[in-house]
Structure 1
Amino acid sequence: MIERPYDGCGKCLLGVRRLSRMKPATSSPERQREDVLTAAASVGGHIIGWADDWELSGAMDAVTRPKLGPWLRDERGPYGGLVAAAVDGIGRNAVDCLNTGYKMRDEGKLLVTYGHEGPWDLNDTTDENRFTMEAWGAQMELRAIQRRNRSATVKTRASRTPQGETLVRFPLRPGGDGRSASQAPTARSRASASILASSRRIVDSAGQDRFGTSGSTAVPSRSSRAGGASATHSLTASRDYAPARTAQAVSARSVTRGCRTPADPAGPGPARGVPAESEDHPWTLPDAV
């Protein structure tokens, strides 16, 4: 069994995994696990635990990492060595990576990575040079990532565009400027004309519903019977857009304060059950909601 508790065999290895950014679609944790298990089996070792540092930059020293650090500081119990998927899993700083490697060498513990035949022997010049080169390569990759991130941040701030979003501008006509439709004067004028025409049609249809198509019969609209607001509540709009006989009817049934008397469906005049305006009981406007 490749994963079992510590038994003092000398090959009780701690699995080390690290990832800078965890994403839902990433498969790096599973790949790293497979590489670690393969590397441990290649040297006849077994895994006693995992030091998984997710959402953690490789620039952090291994000794100060939340999961790996306590093991290196001998706060989590005995272990026989470290096994990682690659050298950059130990760290992306060359000095910190070499310090961890020399710590394993000085304490007589194993240091194993996937792709390297057997444990690292830092007493051997060839292995030491190769380990140093891989640690240096990990640091160069870290510096390149940091440089790209800084450049992207500066470019985003200069363009004042939120990261991950792109503004697309379409010309209004072939050969036109690149302004959006809301910025073009001709587009604004057309939009205003369209809104005005729609308003006139609404007022005309509301006036026909209230007074009839011929303007000779006073038929209340649904909105006026329910007490709701509509275009027919505006005396100015009714006079401007209704026929002449309709405008006269509105003036005749209007009260002095601008609120017309509810009409009875049977004919003009006050509605049944609604007292007419008098000096003792004048009509008042409803309170504002």
Structure 2
Amino acid sequence: MAIVLGPNRYGKAETRLVRVVRDGDTHTLADLNVSVALSGDLAATHLTGDNAGVLPTDTMKNTVYAFAKEHGVAEPEEFGLLLARHFVTTQPQVSAARVALESYGWSRLGPHSFRRDGACTRTATVTVTANAAQVVSGVSGLVLLNTTASEFHGFPRDRYTTLPETTDRILATAVDARWRHRSADAGWAASFAGAVEAMTTAFVRTYSHSLQQTLFSMGSRVLETRPEIAEIRLALPNKHHYLVDLSPFGLANDNEVFIAGDRPYGLIEGTVTRDDVPPADAEWYR
């Protein structure tokens, strides 16, 4: 039996970057968490400890900060592409660079005052090789809730099933979505805003018989309204809300008072894609 080295990569994870653009008295703020991972001809360092091809991860961190100064930070996708292309083109032993970014929003309160937005986090993952570039945008922690217009019934039952069927329930989730662009050239800000708007609109307008149905409706609306997006993967935790038994207090509870459950929770995942786009690596959304 032979023992061989399998796929591998290495990099600098979670470089925290805040970039301030000082345009007179009015400032602009970008707040990113940047992770870089490189892969390629790196077997020697694993097998013999030869580090001749190992660009230090500290160098990757420094590159993030230097690029923020030299090139600025506009959209996370654009910044990620700059970084990934730099590592592939300047390091001959590197065949692929993956840059994952989290972008934290801030609301302007004045020319140089801001308030951190806590509703959700914008994400982007850029992968560059010598011949191609792939951009995956996304959002995490987008919390949505409908107080009605949701049912769940008609499911199979066995000896362990205790869940009652319902024709009126709260439907709540914290959307984690990733969408792959057709090309590495898009209007990133408008595309992101449009995708989030499409998902939100579909959630609001869909009368849900299952969270799976809602997932497909959300993904479909993104593809229908955003032609630059090839496919989208959604992960929707079912944030359960349970009716509180108020009968010990002589009170009725007509779908008004709930316990917001924490865990365990249902997790619904799925990919919605176009039938006319080339398939991507199964790991494209990670």
TM-score (normalizing by structure 1): 0.19
TM-score by length of 2: 0.19
State which structure, 1 or 2, has the greater radius of gyration over its C-alpha atoms: 1
Q: RCO (CA 8 Å, sep 6+): is it higher in 1 or 2? A: 2
